[in-house]
Amino acid sequence: METTTLFKTELLQVADAVAREKSIERDEVLDAMEQAISKAGRAKYGHEHDIRAEIDRSNGEVHLRRYREVTDEMENEFTQILTTDARALRDGIEPGEFVIEELPPIDLGRIAAQTAKQVIVQKVREAERARQYKEYEGRVGEVVNGIVKRNEFGNVTVDLGRAEAMMRRDETLPRESFRTGDRVRAYIYDVREETRGPQIFLSRTHPQFMAKLFSQEVPEIYDGIIEIKSVARDPGSRAKIAVLSYDNSIDPVGACVGMRGSRVQAVVSELQGEKIDIIPWSEDTATFVVNALAPAEVSKVVLDEEQNRIEVVVPDDQLSLAIGRRGQNVRLASMLTGWDIDILTEDEESRRRQEELKQRSQTFMDALDVDDVIAHLLVAEGFTTIEQVGFVPIAELAEIEGFDEEISEELRARARNYLEETERVNDEKRRELGVSEDVAGVAGLAPAMLVTLGESGVKTLDDLADLDSVELCIILSSSGVSPDAIDGLSEEDLAAALKTSQVTEEEANAIIMAARAHWFDQDGSSEDAGAAADDGGADQGAAGSEETKSDA
């Protein structure tokens, strides 16, 4: 075929056909062709030249031109021309402009044509990838339908029509297998632009896949009358979904279940028989947790907002149901609510409470030198520490049955004497251990804590400042865990150790920042360090207030 024919009418026809097939712009195809022809031109006239091709968008005519920049100082004779020489060719031309020379059309040989084809294919592929990424980056969170194209060792390639997507083995449901040609519905959870092109990742195990399926099956969710607040899944086995209705006349659970279970059954079928518990969401954390543990019955809940943990007491015969097979029920409830859940039977809780009452009563008997009757009365009224007895108003103590003002004053005086003596003993022990006065002056550290620090080898401000918040919490805990062993602890063991600490992580941070304040004195930043320490102290005070409120 003659070159002139190829480069005119058929050139535009080919560009139109490729643009339609690849769903990209016609100009992007023509740009790729221009680059290919430019490359072929440089191959003929020399790669050092600046040769550019331009295709007329109306008639397909190809113009091949050589560009040379006008300059006063020649650096490259192939791409530049001196101003004096340029003005001999065109009057009034200025440095920075270009001298453009028309070149005769080229006949593409076999090698040049092959090179041009490679360039065009590469540029068209890049344009197609850019189009795919732009189209699908905004579709993260959608459910799409596709056809299985390949299945390689469980990793499924899905044809979405205008792009291909990948669904890894761990994103498919257990015991689920796909063959080429199968239709599949999945959730787009990520779109990434990588070297090999945009990668679209699908999932059938993502919690939001279930939420989207319910949105498709339940019109009230689609319309916003019912909201899915949270979802927890053990893919292919069991799931929990919390729903809230903004219309008091509509039951969110009933709407999601549907007539004779038709709506929920449609979702269950899509998820290969995954059992789904639909529960009503509640702003009250305790109520929400009780709902989440269904079908188990709950007797009592105790919240620890500071540690984000909740203790649930269930009847003895409900323990296995609350925990579920291999801990599945309580694990899903924890994921759904965002709280760590500890489950106790009524017998276990009763024994533990009796043990706590016994320990507190013994503490009051030893510290206040009173009999068990008075100690039990104090415990029954909610007193947990000697400090509470020492600084409670006399009137509150006198309100306890059997107490009068004289007994109340005596108890408070004994409590304060005990606290003063304990502080004196701890202060002496702290000095014996070599804990410096600077450390003793750090806000937030009680005398007993200073003794514990000294026993752990923390004796100077630098020793204290070198710790991180977790290490300080562990040192001040009753867990018996060494700070050196923190790295080897599991998350559960670390959380249990932190739970017994005398300070929270926020309080520990404030203490450490106060200890580090002297580091900044040398470079004039002591005010900033002091501000950080004050903020930490404020956080500590707030945390202490919350703790007292929780105890009360």
Q: Are residues 127 and 145 in the same domain?
A: no
Tally of domains in the chain? 3
Whether residues 522 and 457 share a domain: the answer is yes
Q: Is residue 26 located within the same domain as residue 128?
A: yes
Contacts of residue 143, Cβ cutoff 8 Å, sequence gap at least 6: 185, 186, 187, 188, 209, 212, 213, 216
Given 203, 224, 239, which residue is the final one in a domain? 203
Residue 174: give the domain boundaries. 140-203
Q: Exposed (0-12), middle (13-18) or buried (19+): which is 417, by Cβ within 10 Å?
A: middle
One domain for residues 496 and 441: yes
Q: Which of 203, 233, 257 marks a domain boundary?
A: 203
Tokens for 292, please give them.
């989440």
Q: Which residue has the tokens 């739970």?
A: 499
Asked if residue 545 belongs to a domain, the reply is: yes
Q: Let me know if residue 417 belongs to a domain.
A: no
Q: What is the pLDDT of residue 35?
A: 78
| Residue 282 placed within a domain | no
Query: What pLDDT is stored for residue 414 in this prediction?
Result: 86
Could you tell me how far CA 531 lies from the centroid of its own chain? Answer: 30
- How many residues are listed for the chain in this entry? 552
List, in order, residues 6 or more apart from 181 with CB less than 8 Å away.
147, 148
345: phi > 0 → left, psi -120 to 50 → alpha, else beta; which? beta
Main-chain dihedrals φ then ψ at residue 141, nearest 5 degrees: 100, 0
The SS3 call for residue 101 is: strand
pLDDT at 9: 59
CB atoms within 10 A of CB 435: 25
Residue-level pLDDT at 6? 44
Query: What does the pLDDT read at residue 52?
Result: 84
Element holding 217 (H helix, E strand): helix 207-217
Structure tokens at 326: 């291999």
451 and 483 together in one domain: yes
pLDDT along the chain (552 residues), means of 10: 48 72 72 78 80 79 83 83 81 83 70 61 71 78 89 86 85 87 90 76 91 91 91 91 91 90 90 90 90 86 81 86 87 90 83 82 82 81 80 80 80 85 85 86 85 85 86 80 70 74 85 85 48 43 39 34
**Same domain? 15 vs 79:** yes
Does any domain span residue 93? Answer: yes
Sorted by sequence, the CB contacts under 8 Å of residue 275 that are 6+ apart come out as 237, 238, 239, 268
Residues 465 and 534 in one domain: yes
Report the CATH number that the domain containing residue 178 is assigned in CATH. Answer: 2.40.50.140
Q: Is residue 359 part of a domain?
A: no
Reported for 387-390, long-range contacts at CB under 8 A and 24+ positions apart, including other chains, are 387/415, 387/419, 389/364, 389/415, 390/415, 390/416, 390/418, 390/419
Q: Using the 3D structure, point to which of 133, 161, 184 is the last residue of a domain.
A: 133
86 belongs to a structural domain: yes
Instruction: Indicate whether 122 and 163 sit together in one domain.
Output: no
Alpha carbon 546 to chain centroid, angstroms: 27
pLDDT of residue 22: 66
Same domain, 153 and 126: no
Domain identity same for 153 and 66: no
SS3 of 487-547: the string is HHCCHHHHHHHHHCCCCCHHHHHHHHHHHHHHHHHCCCCHHHHHHHHHHHHHHHHHHHHHH
Closest CA to 327 of 282, 296, 351: 296
How far does CA 433 lie from the centroid of its chain? 44
The position carrying tokens 């890049």 is 126
- Residue 261 DSSP one-character state: G
Region of 100 on the Ramachandran plot (φ > 0 left; ψ -120 to 50 alpha; else beta): beta
Angle (CA) 309 278 217, round 5°? 135
CA distance 243 to 250: 12
Alpha-carbon span 219 to 447, nearest angstrom: 63
Which CATH number do you get for residue 30?
Answer: 3.30.1480.10
Q: Is the dihedral of CA 173, 179, 184, 190 positive or negative?
A: positive
For 392, half-sphere exposure in the C-beta direction (CA atoms, 13 angstrom radius) is 27
The contacts of residue 421 (CB under 8 Å, 6+ apart) are none
Instruction: Quote the tokens at residue 505.
Output: 């992580």
In a domain, 355, yes or no: no
- Could you tell me if residue 337 is inside a domain? no
DSSP H helix total and E strand total for the chain: 24, 15
The predicted pLDDT at position 141 comes to 86
Task: Judge if 44 and 8 occupy the same domain.
Answer: yes
Q: Is the pTM of this model over 0.75?
A: no
16 and 127 both lie in a single domain: yes
Q: In which residue are the tokens 């809780």 written?
A: 349
